Structure 1
């Protein structure tokens, strides 16, 4: 029976070729795999000889892929992705498993829900690190789609086409006011009526500020911001001092009301009740410890 001579592929060569082809530069490609330019050039030349085809056009401005090189690039990317997935699946079975999860969420989830989740997660996964970042829901959707974030916690009002989503929790936005403020005498109020008063808001770079500002603009009104602060805790301290009123999640308000003399007033607006959802590109493609983190988030 006749046998076919199939070239043997080295993973270092494949990674090098991908880096060179994508950057159109031997220098940049070699740097990314920690090789000298001379060594990188020699490896690519050897790969071309084994395959019997030219993979790259070389010129003064750099390199570009030949048709054969374009075909190899597609398959090399697929092979390297499969190798990475294999490593991710095998890793949890080894001792001292290490990993990293990129989790993007809105301010409510970060302040009220995720601290307990992450504390318990780290108890059973001490070698896993989490990059937790606050973002607007629309930005989170884009980050997950682009692979910048592994897991997102978003508002259910934001479209998440192309992503898998799971229902998470609901939170209610409320107003906090000084105890001697006119609003302290009522149980609930429409947001539009509250805009007659001076506000304490979060920093304009925060997701919560942008979310609230959208509602202000829909009303065709303006929010009279007396001061901007960096946290809900600072907001409630300013409210207690009589500087103005603020808007924050009810869970945060009730927690901080134990430490501050403030009044909590319900918002009657439909948008004030927010449903949170978890979003990922594909759960099946997540690393094992990332899927475990999702389980923790849903259970607590």
Structure 2
């Protein structure tokens, strides 16, 4: 019979690479862990791993069980943590995943009043789910997902919380700084700076450059907003960001926001959640405060 310890062993061996390292994490002896693995393989009638030196490579059966472990264990751990919180009279932790790089500053403005309103709820922000947040929601690794590009799936719901315009940001002395708007062809000789996101998920490509068959002269990737805007201010390139974010930085940096096309690019930020969590009061309260 497949037991939780089997799934835990599969996950830790995958993470650590060896039985010895996995045994240390699981607080087991290596012999006990090896016995557990052998017993599981005997029960299942098929090998779970293939040894390659000191390393272990999962078989087809092992890879399938590892996938089960990655889905099931986070849900069990989440359930146990939630029950402990109930037992201790706590509401728990609201875990928020970010699929929107520039939204971190916006999120901070929501978190501060939220923590004041809900003193018995902690907030944890996870940014490792860039454009992979749906799996994190289904896997109970996060409770809310901040995203400008919702992917609708059964069991999930998305609430729009605010509208914004995506604009081109350039240095104050840039030749495009005084333009009312820019057309795709005007970026063909520019260095475009963006976050480390797949090109087809970047609005300036998907909604502006690609339909016109235009590519920038060069594309640079930078992870942090502050460094990106310092690069733009120093004339090292241009970027596409929300207008509200550019306006926040204009008080301390020489930057200009220019509309992308005559009609601009209109966007929305959504909060995604599991449909089954609609009765959690502190989660719904965060959505309501985010709208405000």
Q: Supply the distance in 2 between the matched residues of 1:184 and 1:21 (Cα, whole angstroms).
A: 57
Helix, strand or coil for the counterpart of 2:152? coil
Correspondence 1:195 to 2:187: yes
User: Residue 168 of structure 2: which of 169, 175, 181 is its match?
Assistant: 175
Helix, strand or coil for the counterpart of 2:188? coil
Deviation at residue 85 of structure 1 after TM alignment: 5.1
Query: Is the Cα–Cα contact under 8 Å of residues 97 and 142 in structure 2 kept in the other structure?
Result: yes
Helix, strand or coil for the counterpart of 1:183? coil
User: Residue 64 of structure 1: which of 39, 43, 46 is its match?
Assistant: 43
Q: Deviations over 1:46-79 (max 9, x none)?
A: xxxxxxxxxxx957xx34369xxxxxxxxxxx9x
Query: Is the Cα–Cα contact under 8 Å of residues 100 and 130 in structure 1 kept in the other structure?
Result: yes
Q: Supply the distance in 1 between the matched residues of 2:201 and 2:77 (Cα, whole angstroms).
A: 41
Q: Supply the distance in 2 between the matched residues of 1:30 and 1:236 (Cα, whole angstroms).
A: 46
Correspondence 1:165 to 2:158: yes
Normalised by the length of structure 1, the TM-score is 0.63
Correspondence 1:184 to 2:163: no
Distance 1:207 1:241, change over 3 A: same
Pairs aligned (count): 255
Distance 1:275 1:226, change over 3 A: closer
Helix, strand or coil for the counterpart of 1:173? strand
Deviation at residue 36 of structure 1 after TM alignment: 7.6
Deviation at residue 292 of structure 1 after TM alignment: 4.2
Helix, strand or coil for the counterpart of 2:177? helix
User: Residue 147 of structure 1: which of 136, 140, 147 is its match?
Assistant: 140
Q: Deviations over 1:195-238 (max 9, x none)?
A: 134234134x2479951444544443222237544333323333
Deviation at residue 37 of structure 1 after TM alignment: 9.9
Q: Deviations over 1:244-273 (max 9, x none)?
A: 322211011111111112222112376721
Please identify the structure whose Cα radius of gyration is greater.
1
Helix, strand or coil for the counterpart of 1:160? coil
CA RMSD, 1 decimal = 4.6
Normalised by the length of structure 2, the TM-score is 0.65
